[in-house]
Chain A
Amino acid sequence: MIQVKNLKKSFGSNEVLKDINVTVKPKEVVVVIGPSGSGKSTFLRCINMLETITGGSVLIEGVDITDKKTDINKIRTEVGMVFQQFNLFPHKKVIENIMLAPMKVRNIPAEEARKKGLELLRKVGLEDKADAYPDSLSGGQKQRVAIARALAMEPNIMLFDEPTSALDPEMVGEVLEVMKELAKEGMTMVVVTHEMGFAKEVGDRVIFMDGGLIVEEKVPSELFDNPQEERTKAFLSKVL
């Protein structure tokens, strides 16, 4: 469960998030859409404190992450993140990418971490790539490894920051497929994306952001078929 209250974020004098209030319930899939520069990625990055928060609060499973006493490293083990640019560790093999954090952060023995890693690779359909280096993978494969790597920490929540935006079109499907599978299993997800088809099919709720504010927030069918706000209409007319 994620509770975001009056979240504000500024970069210098540039206020990127003005007043964001969102609650994401367990097992819910929330899709965030909006034009570039609307603050949607920043919003996502505030949820695991990759950005320092200027004002307001973010509660993960009831724990306020803006509180100085909170162990942010512990919170982050519960919140997996997938990046637009994959950010795989290029000096490590695929399986080592997945094993690293469980071994170093959770002190899981190598043997067990490897077993778990192979299981996750099977889940994303890349078991045969365990001993390959990330450089030899296609974009879609890299992103699936990145998802497996995040899942290895057994998070309760997964954040996706435009996971398919850096992919060639023919590889988008394979990544979305893995994400759909996750959603079906009941993972709590917040997904920033431009894939409207995914939002419609998988999202429980769609948030439309613009200018650092949440403009409209509805179930997908309502938002896409019957948007109320002018800005939402204008945006959807461009992307649909």
Chain B
Amino acid sequence: MDFRWDIIVEYSPLLLKGTLLTIGFSLASILIGTILGLFIGLGKMLRNKWYALPFKWYINFFRGTPLMVQILLIHFAVVPAFIGTTNAIAAAILALSLNSAAYVAEIFRAGIQSIDRGQMEAARSLGMTHVQAMRYVILPQALKRMIPPLGNEFIVLVKDSSLAALIAAPELMYWGRAMQGQYMRPWEPYLSAAVIYLVLTLSLNYLLNYFEKRWATE
């Protein structure tokens, strides 16, 4: 089998551009998804069942339907309904953020509920309000426990961002497919994409381990 390095070299500027976009909207989605996820997680924990219901169904929907369907829906239906036209990059970020928020919400809830009840009771018995107890006692401990599952979620998100190729957002996988289309060769484009994704996820993994260790020794 001959392996055509030359077409990888030829495509390398485009693959690089695609990789930067992949990194860009992964970061954007991680950021938006995490912030949104925190609120949805809090919403689901509301004591009033009726108030918690919409948050519960948000999570049900985004965890219970394929991301691919969500991306298509948002790109072709939701975004046009609001702004009349659509934009692949914006739609991809939106879909990834909304999807990720559902998972982050569950990670967040599990993190908070893993903290011993006595911590809240001790804080409240000192006269702190519920919000103060959350802020100074529960959340700092819960966030530390959330790092490993959040790391998992971020890695999944980076990989899932490849689905944006479906709506022609010019990210890494998009250029991989373009390369495949031009030369009709399976190995070079898909292996290149795989290696680049691997480098991205391994780097992210390294970064997360670093933070986990640093926080653990405090």
Interface residue ranges, A against B (CB under 8 Å): 48, 50, 73-74, 76-77, 79-81, 83, 85, 87-91, 100-101, 104-105, 146, 149-150, 153
When distances are taken between beta carbons in the complex, the residues of chain B under 8 Å from A76 are: 124-127
Q: Are B127 and A87 in contact, with the CB atoms below 8 A?
A: no
A101 and B126 form a contact (CB under 8 A):
yes
User: Total contacts A to B, CB within 8 angstroms?
Assistant: 61
- B137-A50 in contact (CB<8A): no
A73 contacts B128, C-beta separation under 8 Å: yes
Q: Is the CB of A50 within 8 A of B144?
A: no
- Whether A50 touches B121, Cβ cut-off 8 Å, given contacts A100-B136, A104-B136, is yes
CA distance A212 to B127 in the complex (A): 28
Q: How far is the CA of A77 from the CA of B137 in the complex (A)?
A: 17
Q: Are A150 and B126 in contact (CB under 8 A)?
A: yes
B122 in the interface (beta carbon within 8 A): yes
Query: Quick one: which of B126, B127, B129, B141 contacts A91, CB cutoff 8 A?
Result: B141
Q: Nearest Cβ in chain A — how far from B178, in angstroms?
A: 50
- B124→A90 contact, CB < 8 A: no
Contact flag A83-B140 (CB < 8 Å), given A101-B127, A105-B128: no
Q: Please measure, in the bound complex, the distance between the C-alpha atom of A83 and the C-alpha atom of B122, giving whole angstroms.
A: 8
Complex CA gap A185/B122 in Å reads: 24
Chain A nearest CB, measured from B134 CB (Å)? 12
Q: Which listed residue (A87, A104, A146) contacts B132, Cβ 8 A?
A: A104
Contacts of A74 in B (CB 8 A): 127
Q: Which bucket holds chain B's interface residue count?
A: 10 to 19
Given A73-B128, A76-B125, A101-B128: A87 touches B141 (CB 8 Å cut-off): no
Q: Which residues of B contact A90 (CB under 8 A)?
A: 141
Contact flags B114-155 to A (C-beta < 8 A → 1, else 0): 001011011111111100100011001100100000000000
Contacts of B132 in A (CB 8 A): 104-105
Cβ contacts under 8 Å, A104 to chain B: 128, 132, 136
CB neighbours of B127 from chain A (8 A)? 73-74, 76-77, 101, 105, 153
Nearest opposing residue in chain A for B126, CB measure: A101
Contact A89 B126 (CB under 8 A): no
Q: Knowing A101-B127, A105-B128 touch, does A83 contact B136 (C-beta < 8 A)?
A: no
Partner of A77 from B116, B123, B126, B218 at Cβ < 8 Å: B126
CA distance A100 to B124 in the complex (A): 12
* Given pairs A76-B124, A77-B127, 7 additional interface contacts (CB within 8 A): A73-B127, A83-B118, A87-B116, A89-B119, A89-B137, A105-B132, A153-B127
CB atoms of B128 and A50 under 8 A apart: no
Distance (whole angstroms) from the CB of B210 to the closest CB of chain A: 19
Given the complex, which residues of A lie within 8 Å of B118, measured CB to CB? 83, 85, 87
From B121, B141, B218, contact of A83 by CB (8 A): B121
Instruction: Give B57 Cβ to nearest chain A Cβ, in Å.
Output: 28
A166–B169 Cα distance when bound, in Å, is 60
The 7 A-B pairs with the shortest beta carbon distances in the complex, nearest first, are: A77-B127, A87-B122, A101-B126, A87-B118, A81-B125, A105-B127, A76-B127
